[in-house]
Chain A
């Protein structure tokens, strides 16, 4: 709808989401941690985190995150359940300082929630001292499958590239890769590269922007880009070929706001961002902004959603040469999907890195 970046409307949008989401989000009841990440990182990129969250609310938010942590059970130990829940939907008491969790049926962490919980803690300036690193790393090793991919939770048959990325970010932040069999992970990534050099969610599937980002970012965090990509230049060309004006997630699909991040970030990590047509890209992104603030998936959709709102802003933050309207956006630490400035400022507080 707009021809320029509507910074203030977006701040208002995330401020509203932080307090209350409409009932349509009920179907994401298990994923509230990811919504917290979108709000907090979104406000941080917009330079408004300190204005919207008072020190007191920040502290309460940190405590809320820690209250979702699952520790090993004193009797049964760690059976792969440790890490973070997306929300207290199974009825757990609010215990942000506990060091053990009595195991209850179906209580299990989810890698995507653990990943976003850790990023939120870093953005909020926490030193991660209440994070149960040992338990999380041990659980990660339970979640890796024979083929090298990862399952998000300890039960189920759902596993793909998304959770390999989450496991990699967690290992990077906690400065401990012992929970991942890296050779197997690389093998999985290699086998998921398709005949057009894009990357898919798993063997045989169609190349897609989301898993392409996940694989490229995971490899970069492992420092294994050259080992993991069959042909770096061909994967880069696949990514560049996705630019229509905005980016499509797959060949011959319409451009969609979120792929400006998924593909844009992959291109950035592969060192090819200067090849893009930035003006056309920005114009597309501005057209997916809505009058309520936030971004929609496509220009013709009138209502924003929290995922596309965050991805739209993160995508603009990647652009190295900032024109006036997006000058306010900091550079992005694309592999972790957070502000580079905040990362530089807060990451040194991380006790798992500074004690080494």
Chain B
């Protein structure tokens, strides 16, 4: 944007425009000398900000002020004061907020990692009291960056605000996971859906979801997301890993693949739960064996697993029958 303006030879500074001649620009008084943390602004930005300061001071609500905010947002899409000013103008002049949403599409795509553009859309939609086409716009953004946190936050807000808990959301998540099975944002959205929809989770829903995760694990076992999802759904259904023998079966089936961490670490969790309930010698020795293997495979966390080992050993010592 900045370069574009500079290349445009016909660009006239705001303070030099006849339609702004009634305004006395206000400079930024930055009287620390030497100046500190100064930004080497383009002169077009400095000039427009000088005019902006003057009209904000008198809280001018006008077409020209609206146009000025658009220009400044081009330079500084994170300037939340300018956004707030723009919102006030739009609302007070009864602008068509749908039109504003369309107008800001390009800015959204250009600055999708900035909080403010999403916040602006949220304010517009909240005032419209209508989700308009925003869910579709988010889809486009997620095509560029399927893990964009702001887009997901906005999507969740829309779904909650307008009760959009439809099965189409599950279908959409499924599409995203077919594209990238490791997309944790999509997995999280699936949990958001079940955790926040008005209907309660039935045993049958939980089983469906567990089977869904198991299928995805079979496609790519060394992917943390479905393993976390599996545990999350079981907890949401107020059960434990021990209530689902098919999960243990899955772990046993996959745990010997040395390139994978997660089947073995969940198997460890299941075995530890069983051992703490019923401390047998076989159980104890099995845990030591699993930890030894996890120290090899999950080598970044060797100290963590070593600490686990010590915990298990001291639990064993506290028992009447020590198996060491």
Contacts and interface: CB of A to CB of B under 8 A. Distances in A.
A19 B77 contact: no
B29 A60 contact: no
A204 B196 contact: yes
Nearest to B224: A251
Residue among B2, B153, B302 with max Cβ neighbours from chain A (10 Å): B153
A205 B2 contact: no
B103 interface: no
B196 A250 contact: no
Nearest to B42: A23
B301 interface: yes
Contacts of B30: 87-88, 94
A36 interface: yes
A280 interface: yes
Given A252-B182, A252-B184, A36 B37 contact: yes
Contacts of B78: 27-28, 30-31
Contact of A27 (B27, B77, B126, B300): B77
Contacts, number: 191
Interface residues of B, number: 73
Residue among A22, A156, A206 with max Cβ neighbours from chain B (10 Å): A206
Interface in B99-123: 114-116, 119, 122-123
Given A27-B78, A30-B80, A201-B149, A22 B225 contact: no
By secondary structure, the A interface counts as loop
Interface stretch (B131-139, B227-235, B239-247, B315-323): B227-235
Given A19-B36, A39-B37, A89-B49, A26 B80 contact: no
B76 A243 contact: no
Contact of A156 (B36, B75, B80): B80
A158 B114 CA distance: 12
B164 to A, nearest CB: 13
A274 B32 contact: no
Given A64-B36, A106-B85, A153-B80, A201 B191 contact: no
A92 interface: yes
Residue among A196, A241, A243, A276 with max Cβ neighbours from chain B (10 Å): A196
B303 A158 contact: no
B17 interface: no
Interface string A2-35: 0000000000000001111111011111111001
A105 B57 contact: yes
Contacts of B126: 157
Contact of B228 (A88, A158, A195): A195
A22 B40 contact: yes
A101 interface: no
B33 A60 contact: yes
B149 A195 contact: no
Given A91-B28, A195-B235, A26 B37 contact: no
B38 interface: yes
A252 B183 contact: yes
Nearest to B159: A204
A29 B224 contact: no
Interface of B: 2, 26-42, 45, 49, 53-54, 56-57, 59, 75-81, 84-85, 114-116, 119, 122-123, 126, 147, 149, 152-153, 156, 160, 182-185, 188, 191-192, 195-196, 223-225, 228-229, 231-233, 235-236, 299-304, 307
Given A23-B2, A88-B28, A158-B80, 5 more contacts: A21-B37, A26-B76, A67-B31, A88-B29, A104-B56
Interface of A: 17-23, 25-32, 35-36, 39, 57, 60-61, 63-64, 67, 87-94, 104-106, 153, 155-158, 194-196, 201-208, 237, 240-241, 243-245, 250-253, 272, 274-277, 280
**Would you list the 9 A-B pairs with minimal beta carbon distance, nearest first?**
A195-B232, A91-B53, A94-B31, A206-B188, A196-B228, A91-B26, A251-B184, A252-B182, A64-B32
10 contacts: A30-B78, A88-B28, A90-B81, A91-B54, A105-B57, A105-B59, A204-B192, A205-B153, A207-B188, A252-B224
